[in-house]
Amino acid sequence: MSSARLDMIWQPEAVLPYLFGALKAKIETVSPVAAIYLFGSRARVPVSEWHILEGKDWDLYVVCDFPIVNTQIWGRDLGYYLDLVVITQEQLKKCLETDPHIQKLYPKDALGVHKKYMQEVKNTGL
């Protein structure tokens, strides 16, 4: 488990608009985004209890046509506390076989956070 980093951007109201807006758009300049999944502690903890994850990172799989490395330029280098892994659909299948807690965020949102935070995206212009 990662350590808490209160000096980084980890708050859902900041991370989710970035994820669904600017980050997705940046990745799509390289490859279309087929899906976004949440894994790790945020996938195991109900959204209503995310406050207990104060300062914790976001573990994310972004599914594209091909894997992309050095993704820290879209996350940690910008101050976002993300563990961003860009993988293929085949790689995701293997992950889903070993981790039953992975939650889909895009295009269908298993946690119900996409609609809530898309309003933030519209309001901030991300």
Question: Could you give all domains of the chain from N- to C-terminal order, each with its CATH number?
Answer: 12-124 (3.30.460)
pLDDT grade for 46, boundaries at 50, 70 and 90: very high
Average pLDDT over residues 51-66: 96
State the Cα–Cα distance between residues 108 and 112, nearest whole angstrom: 9
Average pLDDT value for the chain = 90
Confidence (pLDDT) at 28 = 96
Pairing relation of β-strands 35-39 and 82-87? unpaired
**Does the pLDDT at position 120 exceed 60?**
no
pLDDT at 126 over 70: no
Q: What is the mean pLDDT of residues 39-67?
A: 95
Q: What is the pLDDT of residue 110?
A: 84
Q: What pLDDT score was predicted for residue 92?
A: 97
Distance between CA atoms of residues 91 and 23, nearest Å? 21
pLDDT value at 1 more than 60: no
Q: Torsion angle of alpha carbons 104, 110, 114, 117, nearest 10°?
A: -120
CA–CA gap between residue 87 and residue 69 (Å, rounded): 9
